Amino acid sequence: MQSLIPKSFQQPSHKKKNQNTPNSNNPYYLYVVTIIAAATILFLFYSRQIDPKGLCSTAGSLTPAQTIIVEEFESSAIPLVTIFHYATARDVPQQSKGEIRRPFDVLQSLAPCNFLVFGIGHDSLMWDSFNPLGVTLFLEEDPKWAISSLKRFPILRAHTVYYNTRLNEAKTLLSSYKKNCGAVSTGDHPLKDDRRCRLALGKLPEEVYDRDWDVIMIDAPRGYFPSAPGRMAVIYSAAVMARGRKKAGVTHVFLHDVDREVERLYAKEFLCMKYRVGGIRKLWHFVIPPAANVTDTANGFC
């Protein structure tokens, strides 16, 4: 596991969406524990290698409860540690029961698979446990939050990502992308090193480009104030990844917070409503097949 934390990348810390509320008051707590307990029966004797890379020495101190969780990663099966964490933590997953269940069912049908998650939250350990023996990678915009999360959950694989877009540019970027995006890439991936298209995430860690991702969860970066990065580039890049898939099969893309205008506009433009197979509350589910020519966007994506 490696963490890419550029020293020169400074962004203000921010509070994650979910509030700290006792488990006894959260209706989804028992649901999460029940699902993970079921996973434990299947994967009790499996555990992945842990390589904290000194993260615990680079961040602030842990609470006694968090220290216990970190130590448990060294000796206990991952599903058991996950149950232990959610049974004792005040921070719980931010999505609803239905929103959790749909990706869970897909992951169970595909696992072990390649699962790419944009954003680290209080639900990250849960998502990781849903893909035992697979590759689950988290991409986070805030370096401080990434370090803090990896310190508490050293099993997670994560990198920080810089976004050069702002939410107040969303409509301009949407109306002009055909002029600047879709050119043939000079690299071995349609996104890699693309400096012309601002919606293309061309400077991601190599392991993002090295894999076909079976499931992509878009729940970041922030997109609720004008100067926030917004999710425009993530939605565009996820669509390009899905279209450029090399191995057999399709790509499942889950987009959260579709109650917001930008998420809906960009989903309709790049993820395509004809590929939407369902959704619940603020979550849409798309199943996207590979395209014959991933760089041909003259007529749009849909």
Q: What is the pTM assigned to this prediction?
A: 0.76
Question: Looking at residue 17, what is its pLDDT?
Answer: 44
- Tens of pLDDT, residue by residue, the chain (302 residues): 444 333 333 344 443 444 444 454 555 555 555 555 555 434 433 333 333 333 333 345 677 767 766 776 665 667 777 777 777 777 777 799 999 999 999 999 999 999 999 999 999 999 999 998 999 999 999 999 999 999 888 889 999 999 999 999 999 999 999 888 876 555 689 999 998 999 999 999 999 999 999 999 999 999 999 999 999 999 999 999 999 999 999 999 999 999 999 999 999 999 999 999 999 999 999 999 998 766 666 677 89
Torsion (CA) 78, 79, 82, 87 in degrees, nearest 10: -140
* The predicted structure's pLDDT at residue 234: 98
Instruction: Return the CATH class of domain 69-293.
Output: alpha beta
Which among 242, 279, 250, 287 has a CA at the least distance from the CA of 263?
Answer: 279
- Interior angle at CA 42, CA 52 and CA 32, nearest 5: 70
CA 120, CA 51: separation in Å to the nearest integer? 18
Kindly report, residue by residue over 47-63, the tens digit of the pLDDT: 333 333 333 333 456 77
- Give SS3 for 124: helix
Cα separation of 119 and 145, whole Å? Answer: 10
